[in-house]
Amino acid sequence: MSVVTSGKKVIARLQDTSLSFGEKVVLKNCSLDVVEGAITCIIGLSGAGKSTVLRLLDGLLQPSGGHVFVRDQDICHMSEEQLIGVRRHISLAFQFAALLDSLSVGDNVALPLRERNAQPEAEIRKRVIDALESVGLADTYDSLPSELSGGMLKRAGFARAIVTQPDLILYDEPTTGLDPIVTHLITGTILKLRKMLNGTAVVISHDLQSIFMMADYVAMLFEGAIIAYDTADRIRNSHNPIVEQFLRGSEVGPIPI
């Protein structure tokens, strides 16, 4: 456990995790603790491997070295059946929502519940309506994804992510391509959902204003490893030259341009 998270409950952890695709090294001895009940934001250059971290936490990718723990279980060598059990408590909100165009919004949100086939249809409908209401989309149950704006699509994706009431939500670039007003709305929605679920979130984003509105902890990924990890306030005031350059958006500093 890192100094930052000492004494806090950790829901998920990367421990000396490495991952390569052929000769391309994406992560190298990367470690990160995800504190339960907190929002952890991961920042870094485009292509640094931030989304890869989410897919490791969800078991969609397996590392070439090191470990990935969820609730103290090493998920690296689990069977697919065992991973399905772990994923019942984790949701991934995809960057572009990944809704199926042929299904209504309501049916898209209901998919995770229907896959489990454990509830009557009336209960599923109620939970879907509750999830849509929680993200401000109460009137979209019968709409098609093509009828929604970009911000509404993001929130519909959030509704699908929370309908199973997960312990951990992984948000992949939730504000990408959105105007400042909708970005503020999306950021507020993430904060609201964390409070509503009493849950934990990991957020990948390039929007620094949004990050510092929502983050309890911020981790910076650089050249395959987490090179800085602290509370949001301490990262904002970091004297690490790499972090400073990134936050300033400056061409001058140790980050090669």
Q: Give domain status of residue 118, yes or no.
A: no
Q: Report how far residue 143's alpha carbon sits from residue 156's, in angstroms, rounded to the nearest whole number.
A: 11
Whether pLDDT at 118 is above 80? no
Give the H or E element holding residue 172: strand 168-172
Q: Give domain status of residue 239, yes or no.
A: yes
Range of the domain at 80: 1-89+202-257
CATH for 47: 3.40.50.300
Q: Give domain status of residue 211, yes or no.
A: yes
Q: Give domain status of residue 181, yes or no.
A: no
Looking at this protein, which amino acid is placed at residue 133? Answer: E
Residue 160's pLDDT band, with cuts at 50, 70 and 90, is: very high
Q: Give domain status of residue 51, yes or no.
A: yes
pLDDT at 231: 96
Q: Give domain status of residue 155, yes or no.
A: no
Looking at this protein, which amino acid is placed at residue 54? Answer: L
The answer to whether the beta carbons of residues 105 and 137 sit under 8 Å apart is yes
Q: Give domain status of residue 66, yes or no.
A: yes
- Tell me the pLDDT of the chain averaged across its residues: 92
Q: What is the pLDDT of residues 28-76, one digit of tens each?
A: 999 999 999 999 999 999 988 999 999 999 999 999 999 999 999 999 9
Q: Give domain status of residue 35, yes or no.
A: yes
Q: What is the mean pLDDT of residues 146-170?
A: 93
Angle ∠(227,166,155) on CA atoms, nearest 5: 85
Domains of the chain: total = 1
Question: Whole-prediction pTM value?
Answer: 0.92
